């Protein structure tokens, strides 16, 4: 018997996805198979993802995305499935002994069928070591054109059950595409799946745009635009791709905006008369007020997940450092004390860490620290790494890496918060300023 849950239409997609739970031949074990994720070197879990059943071509494409999602984390190693006889159907019993002989710990079984413009995807996850299903099977129904979302949802469910972490594959990233020479870059904003697929362009290249930032619900984008000749903040409805100006003061500059978690407020940098401060705006009424008034440069503000605090960059101590203050304003507390210059802080969705850019000498790093400044750790090092953004589950950080030289190009990369599994995004163009949106509905 199926229990159906109709999910809300997904971002930028007119699709209806349903989820069902169906019984399995045996009850899941009390202590499920689980990979231990630590800061040390880990041995990836071995997982089998044999050919999916159903409509052959579509099933093969869905299987490929699921495999790429899971192995791309660095936490799983896919074992070849050729030496084990293929099951005759999705409902056939699993040959646990056969999979154990090739050192398999987990097995994904799925069926993908197409009926006109719609598809149905069923999957099960099995613990080969104990010889039992790992939780209930699930079903996703969607438009055929949205088969990648169904694949990401399968991978998310497998990831959640085998790591205990929250999902992040079925999510989107806003970014800036860059073309042309370094001294005359042409830029436009795009939105894509977390893995670089399904790119949709939000702006054209008629004016300079910078630093898109998703709202917590993924429905809006903030960005800095030079459309008026001065940097000013605009907000865009992602579904309709329409935007409007939030700031219009030609005598000042407004930039580096971020939404509050509830989407009702925008925090940003405001420069006037040579002084740059942190300002807060009501996104509905447009009412604004300053949160800092120091004669130093304050920029790159980011809300905590509970909306009560703001982390930002300031050079009030002589060099750029990180500070935290209440959203009402007041005296900030410095949290960075290491060597070098700190910038572009962003709060983790979990609320426990802050990612940042750090320059030490001629090297740039992406780092993380606790919100009190403790446990600082560098995740990367290169000629120029900057602008971190968090995956929805707070496990992975995406950032911009710029190659050196006169023809250097920005590229998007990601890294696990343990510092492992550095990966370039599979894009065939230069890109910067990533903003990782929420998990899709």
> What per-residue confidence (pLDDT) applies to 250?
77
- The residue-averaged pLDDT of 255-265 equals 97
CATH annotation of 171-439: 2.120.10.30
Q: What is the pLDDT of residues 309-324, one digit of tens each?
A: 999 999 999 999 999 9
List the beta strands (DSSP E) in 49-117.
53-54, 76-78, 106-115
| pLDDT number for residue 13 | 36
Distance CA 208, CA 231 (A): 9
How far apart CA 255 and CA 242 sit, in angstroms, is 19
CB-CB contact of 246 with 258 (8 Å)? no
85 alpha carbon, distance to own chain's centre = 37
| Domain range summary for the chain, segments of one domain joined by + | 5-26+45-163, 171-439
pLDDT tens for each residue of 322-366: 999 999 989 999 999 999 999 999 999 999 999 999 999 999 999
Burial of 42 (0-12, 13-18, 19+ CB in 10 A): middle
Q: Nearest to residue 134, comparing CAs of 111, 112, 102, 105?
A: 105
Scanning 25-95, the segments in alpha helix (DSSP H) are 56-71
Q: What is the mean pLDDT of residues 394-405?
A: 95
Quote the CA–CA distance of 161 and 167 in Å, as a whole number.
10
More confident residue, 229 or 397: 397
> pLDDT band at 176, cuts 50/70/90?
very high
Give me the sheet containing 186-193, strands edge to edge. 200-201, 186-193, 171-179, 430-439
Phi, psi of 152, rounded to the nearest 5 degrees: -60, -35
Q: Which residues pair with 296 in a beta bridge?
A: none
In tens, the pLDDT along 201-257 reads 999 988 899 999 999 999 999 999 998 888 999 999 999 999 999 998 878 899 999
Contact call for residues 331 and 293 (beta carbons, < 8 A): no
Q: Give the DSSP H/E element, type plus range, for residue 298.
A: strand 298-303
pLDDT digits (tens, 9 = 90+) for 14-73: 344 454 544 443 344 455 787 777 666 578 999 999 999 999 999 999 999 999 999 999
pLDDT, residue 38, reads 67
Give the mean pLDDT of the chain. Answer: 90
5-26+45-163: which CATH number, 3.40.50.150, 2.60.40.10, 3.40.50.300, 3.40.50.10070? Answer: 3.40.50.10070
Using pLDDT thresholds of 50, 70 and 90, give the confidence band for residue 6.
very low
Cβ within 8 Å of residue 232, ≥6 positions away: 224, 225, 226, 245, 246, 247, 248, 249, 253, 254
User: Is 316 within 8 Å of 294 (Cβ atoms)?
Assistant: yes
Please tell me whether residue 388 adopts helix, strand or coil conformation. Answer: strand
Euclidean distance between CA atoms 283 and 302, whole angstroms: 16
Looking at residue 23, its pLDDT comes to: 43
């Amino acid at each position: 018997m199926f229990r159906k849950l109709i999910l809300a239409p997904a971002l930028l997609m007119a699709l209806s996805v349903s989820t069902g739970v169906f019984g399995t031949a045996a009850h899941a074990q009390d202590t499920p198979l689980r990979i231990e994720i630590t800061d040390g070197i880990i041995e990836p879990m071995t997982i089998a993802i044999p050919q999916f059943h159903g409509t052959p071509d579509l099933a093969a494409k869905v299987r490929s995305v699921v495999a790429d999602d899971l192995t791309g984390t660095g936490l799983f190693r896919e074992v070849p499935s050729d030496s084990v006889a293929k099951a005759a159907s999705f409902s056939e019993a699993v040959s646990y002994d056969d999979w154990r002989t090739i050192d398999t710990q987990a097995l994904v079984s799925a069926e993908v069928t197409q009926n006109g413009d719609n598809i149905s995807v069923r999957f099960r996850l099995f613990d080969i070591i104990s010889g039992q299903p790992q939780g209930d099977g699930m079903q996703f129904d969607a438009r055929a054109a949205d088969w990648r979302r169904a694949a990401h949802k399968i991978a998310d469910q497998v990831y959640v059950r085998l790591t205990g972490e929250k999902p992040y594959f079925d999510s989107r990233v806003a970014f800036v595409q860059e073309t042309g020479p370094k001294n005359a870059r042409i830029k436009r904003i795009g939105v894509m799946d977390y893995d670089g697929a399904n790119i949709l362009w939000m702006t054209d290249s008629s004016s300079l745009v910078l630093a898109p930032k998703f709202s917590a619900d993924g429905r809006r984008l903030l960005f800095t635009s030079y459309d008026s000749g001065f940097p000013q903040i605009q907000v865009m409805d992602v579904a309709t791709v329409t935007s409007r100006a939030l700031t219009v003061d030609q005598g000042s500059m407004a930039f580096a905006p971020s939404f509050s978690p509830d989407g009702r407020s925008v925090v940003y940098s405001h420069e006037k008369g040579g002084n740059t401060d942190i300002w807060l705006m009501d996104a509905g009424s447009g009412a604004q007020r300053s949160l800092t008034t120091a004669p130093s440069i304050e920029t790159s503000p980011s809300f905590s997940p509970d909306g009560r605090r703001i982390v930002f960059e300031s050079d009030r101590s002589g060099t750029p450092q990180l500070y935290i203050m209440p959203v009402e304003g007041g005296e900030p507390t410095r949290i960075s004390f290491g060597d070098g210059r700190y910038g572009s802080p962003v709060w983790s969705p979990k609320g426990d860490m802050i990612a940042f850019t750090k320059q030490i000498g001629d090297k740039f790093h992406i780092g993380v620290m606790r919100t009190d400044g403790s446990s600082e750790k560098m995740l990367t090092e290169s000629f120029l790494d900057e602008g971190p953004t968090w995956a929805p589950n707070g496990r992975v950080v995406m950032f911009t890496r710029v190659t050196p030289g006169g023809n250097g190009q920005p590229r998007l990369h990601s890294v696990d918060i343990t510092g492992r599994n550095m990966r370039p995004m599979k894009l065939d163009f230069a890109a910067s300023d990533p903003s990782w949106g929420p998990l899709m509905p």
